[in-house]
Structure 1
Amino acid sequence: MKQICCIVLFFFIVVEVHAQNFADYFQNKTLRVDYIFTGDSKQQAIYLDELSQFPSWAGRQHHLSELPLEGNGQIIVKDLATKQCIYKTSFSSLFQEWLTTDEAKGTAKGFENTFLLPFPKQPVEVEVALYSPRREVIANYKHIVHPDDILIHKRGVSHVTPHRYMLQNGNEKDCIDVAILAEGYTEKEMDLFYQDAQIACESLFSHEPFRSMKDKFNIVAVASPSTDSGVSVPRENQWKQTAVHSHFDTFYSERYLTTSRVKAIHNALAGIPYEHIIILANTDVYGGGGIYNSYTLTTAHHPMFKPVVVHEFGHSFAGLADEYFYEDDTMTDTYPLDIEPWEQNISTRVDFTSKWENILPSDTPIPTPIAEKKKYPVGVYEGAGYSAKGIYRPAYDCRMKTNGYPEFCPVCQRAIRRVIEFYIPQ
C-alpha cells in the first residue's frame, strides 16, 4: 500500500560531539506526547494535546542524539538549562500524506499523532517539525515539559490490556519490542487473534534479515477487545465499533486501511513495553497501510496476509519505500524528481552515492535493462515509488514491490539490518 508520503532513510547520521548517557538525563519511564497536526494544503500547524507517563522505557538507550532515518518529521529534545540536544526521533504521518490529496485543497482537518520519548529528569524543550516532499519545514512547534507537572497523566498502572508474548528474548532494554494489537476482535474471538498474531510473527521472521536477527526482538500480542467483529467499510456503509476505529477507503482509496485515532492505539498499549506497532484487522477484505514510526495495519484473513504484513512492516519499521509503480504516472507530488528520496531502496539518482551505488558490480548498466535481471540481481531498474519514469529500484523484484516475491532484495535487507543495529548495537 502507499505509505505515508516519503518514508525515510539517509544513513548519514548526525552525531553530537559527546554521546549522551541515558541515565544522566532520563528516568526509566516513557513520556507520551500527543499532538494534533492541523491545516490544509496551503497552511499547517501543530498543537499540543496531552502528556502522559508510562511506567517504563522500552526505547533505545544508545545513539540518543542521532537519527538512522530522516523521516517526514522530526522531534528534538533539548535540556532546557543547557539547550543541549539529548534525544532525537523521526517519523512520518497520515496527515502529511493527506496534504497531497484533492480534499486538502479545500478542507482543513486535524489528525492525532502520538510519540514516545524517554521521560526527562529535568525540564526539557521539545521541538516538532514537519517537512514537505521538498524538505522544507511546513510546520514547527516548541514547548516545555516539566517532569513534575501534575497534569501529566499516569497510564498503564491500574489497568493493562491482557497480552501474551509470542517471542521474548530479553527485557525491553536489550531487545526491540514490537506489539501486535487486536482490531475488530471481540472478547470471544481472542483465541483467533492470538493465532493470527502467531502467524504474523512467524511470517516476519521467515524473512531475512529478521530471521538471522530474531534474537534482537520481543513480540507481544495485545488483546484489545472490540464491541463489533470486523472493521468499518465506508463504501458499503458498514461502520463498526472497534478498538482503534480503523476503516477502509482512507482518502477514498478502497484498499487503504488506516486509523486516525492514534491515541486509542497507545491507550490500549499503556503499561506494556513497546516501540513498534502491528495492528491486525479481523477481516478477509484485502488492504492495509504502513506509516514510518507510527504503525502497520493489515487484514489478518485475506490469503495475502503473510506477505502483506511483512511488506507493511518494512514501511513502518525500516522506512522502506514502495518499489511498485503505475504506468504513465510520475506522481511528482510525492517524490520530486530533482530531489533524492530519503528511502534507502529507491533513488532519483540525484545523489546515488548515498544509496546502493557502492554495492553495484562495476559493469552494471544504468539504467539496468529488465532483460538482464538474472545477470544483475542488484542493479538500477527504472520504475519505483509509484512512478514509471525517473525513480529507480535496486532489484527487478522484491518484497517491497510484489506480494508474490518471497524475500526482501539485498538493498532492503541491508537497510533493515542497519535499523536493527541502530536500535540494538552489537
Structure 2
Amino acid sequence: MRYFFAILCFMFHYWAGAQTFDDYFTDKTLRIDYIFSGNVNTQMIAVDELSVFDGWYGKRNNLPEVPVEGNGQIIVRAHKDGSVIYRNSFSTLFQEWLSYDEAKEKNRSFENVFLVPMPKDTVDVTVNLMDNRRNVMSTMTHTVVPNDILIRRLAQSGTTPYEILQQPSDPEKCIRIAFVAEGYKESEMPVFVRDAQIAVEALFAHEPFKSYREKFGIVAVKSPSVDSGTSEPGQGLWLNTALHSNFDTFYSDRYLTTLHLKDLHNWLAGIPYEHIIVLVNTDKYGGGGILNSYNLAMAHHPKFRPVVVHEFGHSFAGLADEYAYEEESIPMYPLDVEPWEKNITTNVDFKGKWENLIGKVPGVGKFEGAGYSLKGVYRACRDCRMRTNENPEFCPACRQAIAELIKFYTE
C-alpha cells in the first residue's frame, strides 16, 4: 500500500512538472491596471480596469518563477487549488516616492499596469509591494473570471503603426522590446525610427546582448504627439505629448519619466511587446529605468547611447546604480539587509552574486561605494556601465547577471 502511495505521489509531481503554458493560458494578454496610493505609513492597492488583447509575448517557460525579486511581485494562482501558475517581479515609481520626505506629509496615487497571460479558468491575482528591507508592506488579492463581460477588448479597431526593427530567431523563445515615440510629431516619425535604430545598435554593441542578439524581437511604435519635445516644469513648459512625460520628477531636474502608464500601454495594445524603451525627442540630459515597467531616455543628447543602455540595465535586468553621491548618501539600502539586485552587496548574504568571479576574472572584487552610498554598499569592479556613462561596457558581474536573465526567458 505504501509502495502504491509512493508511486501516486511520484506521478503527481511528474505531471505537475510537465504542465505547460497551454495547460493554463490562452494566447492572449490580460492587462490589469492598478492604482497604488498612500504615504510612507499606509499604502493601498486598488484594481482600476481589466483589458485583453490577442497575443501573449511574455515568458512561456519558468512561469511560477522570477529571475530577480524586485520591489514587488504579481502572482497568479489557479482558483480551484491555489497553485501558482504565473509570477513576475517589478519596481514602481510609487515605492521610490515613498523614500522622499514628501511621502511623510501627503498622499499620492500612481498608475501601474501589469501584463499576464490570459487564463483559461478563474484565477486569484495577488500584488505584493515590498519595502527596502524586503518585507511585504502592502498586499491585495482579487479574483479574475476570464469570461467577465467587463474585461475590455483592446486593439479591435487597429493598432498603433509600428515598424519591425529586428526579428528573433525563435518567436516562441525570445524577448520582445518595443521602442515607443514620445514627443515626436507625425512628421518626425522618420527621426524617431532612426533614433530607435541607433539605440538598438548601442544596446547590442554591449555584451552579453551582442552574443544573444538573435533572441530579441524589436519594434518601433509610432505614437504621435501634438507637440514636439517634452515638458519641463522647472521652466514652466508643459507640452501635449503622447505620454505626457516630464523632467523634474520628484523635483530632480534630470529625472525624466512618465506617470501615465495607461496611456503608454494603450499605444502598445495589440503590438508584440513585453519590455518598453521610450525615446523622448529632447536634447536635454535625463532619463529613468524601472524594472519591468519601462526605460525612458532622451534621444538627442550626446550621451544618448550610454544612457539608454544604462537605463535598460535597470528596466530589463533589475541592476542597481553603482555610483554614490559624494555630497550626500541616500540610504536606499539598509546595511543590515542584502539587496536583491545582483550587482551590489552589503555583505549580509553575498552568496549567488559574483563570488564565482573573484580570483578568476581580472579586476573583479568588492569595491566600496554603490547604490547611492559611499560606505557599506559594494560593487564588483572599479567602473561599469551601471556606474558611469564613460565606461564602455558592463562589468563582468553585470554581464553575468544579464546573461542569466536572458537564458531564463529564452531557454
Structure-2-length-normalised TM-score: 0.95
Tell me, yes or no, if the aligned pair for 1:299 and 1:305 is still in contact at 8 Å: yes
1:18 match: secondary structure: helix
Tell me, yes or no, if the aligned pair for 2:173 and 2:409 is still in contact at 8 Å: no
- 1:327 and 2:326 correspond: yes
Deviation at 1:171, TM superposition (A): 6.0
Q: Distance in 2 between matches of 1:44 and 1:248?
A: 26
Alignment of 1:386-397 (within 5 A): 386-397=372-383
Q: Distance in 1 between matches of 2:233 and 2:206?
A: 34
2:41 aligns with 42
Percent identity, please: 58
Alignment of 1:273-422 (within 5 A): 273-327=272-326, 329-332=328-331, 334-361=332-359, 376-422=362-408
- 1:270 and 2:293 correspond: no
Q: Distance in 1 between matches of 2:32 and 2:328?
A: 38
- 1:76 and 2:64 correspond: no
2:10 aligns with none
Q: Distance in 2 between matches of 1:119 and 1:354?
A: 33
Alignment of 1:116-155 (within 5 A): 116-155=115-154
Tell me, yes or no, if the aligned pair for 1:155 and 1:271 is still in contact at 8 Å: yes
Q: Distance in 1 between matches of 2:18 and 2:91?
A: 26
Deviation at 1:353, TM superposition (A): 1.9
Deviation at 1:330, TM superposition (A): 3.7
Q: Relative to structure 1, is the Cα distance of residues 203 and 391 closer, same or farther in structure 2, using a 3 angstrom cutoff?
A: same
- 1:210 and 2:196 correspond: no
2:256 aligns with 257
1:182 aligns with 181
Q: Distance in 2 between matches of 1:171 and 1:270?
A: 22
2:284 match: secondary structure: coil
Q: Distance in 2 between matches of 1:19 and 1:413?
A: 31
User: Could you tell me which amino acid in structure 2 is paired with residue 403 of structure 1?
Assistant: N
Deviation at 1:266, TM superposition (A): 0.4
User: Could you tell me which amino acid in structure 1 is paired with residue 358 of structure 2?
Assistant: L
Deviation at 1:354, TM superposition (A): 2.6
- Once the two structures are superposed, residues 184-233 of structure 1 have per-residue CA deviations (whole angstroms, 9 ceiling, x without a partner) of 00001001000101000110000000001000001100000001000000
Deviation at 1:274, TM superposition (A): 0.4
Q: Distance in 1 between matches of 2:349 and 2:138?
A: 26
Deviation at 1:300, TM superposition (A): 0.1
Tell me, yes or no, if the aligned pair for 1:40 and 1:105 is still in contact at 8 Å: yes
Alignment of 1:228-267 (within 5 A): 228-267=227-266
- 1:22 and 2:8 correspond: no
Q: Distance in 1 between matches of 2:179 and 2:18?
A: 32
User: Could you tell me which amino acid in structure 1 is paired with residue 364 of structure 2?
Assistant: V
Tell me, yes or no, if the aligned pair for 2:170 and 2:215 is still in contact at 8 Å: no
1:352 match: secondary structure: coil
Q: Distance in 1 between matches of 2:21 and 2:174?
A: 16
1:311 match: secondary structure: helix
Q: Distance in 2 between matches of 1:226 and 1:72?
A: 32
1:359 match: secondary structure: coil
Tell me, yes or no, if the aligned pair for 2:30 and 2:117 is still in contact at 8 Å: yes
Q: Distance in 2 between matches of 1:342 and 1:357?
A: 15
Deviation at 1:331, TM superposition (A): 2.2
1:63 aligns with 62
Alignment of 1:163-174 (within 5 A): 163-170=162-169, 172-174=171-173
Deviation at 1:282, TM superposition (A): 0.2
Tell me, yes or no, if the aligned pair for 1:123 and 1:145 is still in contact at 8 Å: yes
Deviation at 1:359, TM superposition (A): 1.6
User: Could you tell me which amino acid in structure 2 is paired with residue 97 of structure 1?
Assistant: E
Q: Distance in 1 between matches of 2:300 and 2:216?
A: 25
Q: Distance in 1 between matches of 2:225 and 2:267?
A: 11
Q: Distance in 2 between matches of 1:117 and 1:182?
A: 24
Deviation at 1:174, TM superposition (A): 2.7
- Once the two structures are superposed, residues 60-114 of structure 1 have per-residue CA deviations (whole angstroms, 9 ceiling, x without a partner) of 1100011111000011101101111101111000000000111111110110000
Quick one: higher RCO (CA 8 Å, sep 6+), 1 or 2? 1
1:3 aligns with none
Alignment length (residue pairs): 397
User: Could you tell me which amino acid in structure 2 is paired with residue 394 of structure 1?
Assistant: A
Deviation at 1:157, TM superposition (A): 2.5
1:321 match: secondary structure: coil
Q: Distance in 2 between matches of 1:20 and 1:66?
A: 14
1:111 match: secondary structure: strand
1:45 match: secondary structure: strand
Q: Distance in 1 between matches of 2:176 and 2:405?
A: 14
User: Could you tell me which amino acid in structure 1 is paired with residue 248 of structure 2?
Assistant: D
Tell me, yes or no, if the aligned pair for 1:172 and 1:273 is still in contact at 8 Å: no
Q: Distance in 2 between matches of 1:416 and 1:269?
A: 25
1:52 aligns with 51
Structure 2 gaps, min length 5: 1-14
1:61 match: secondary structure: coil
Deviation at 1:352, TM superposition (A): 1.3
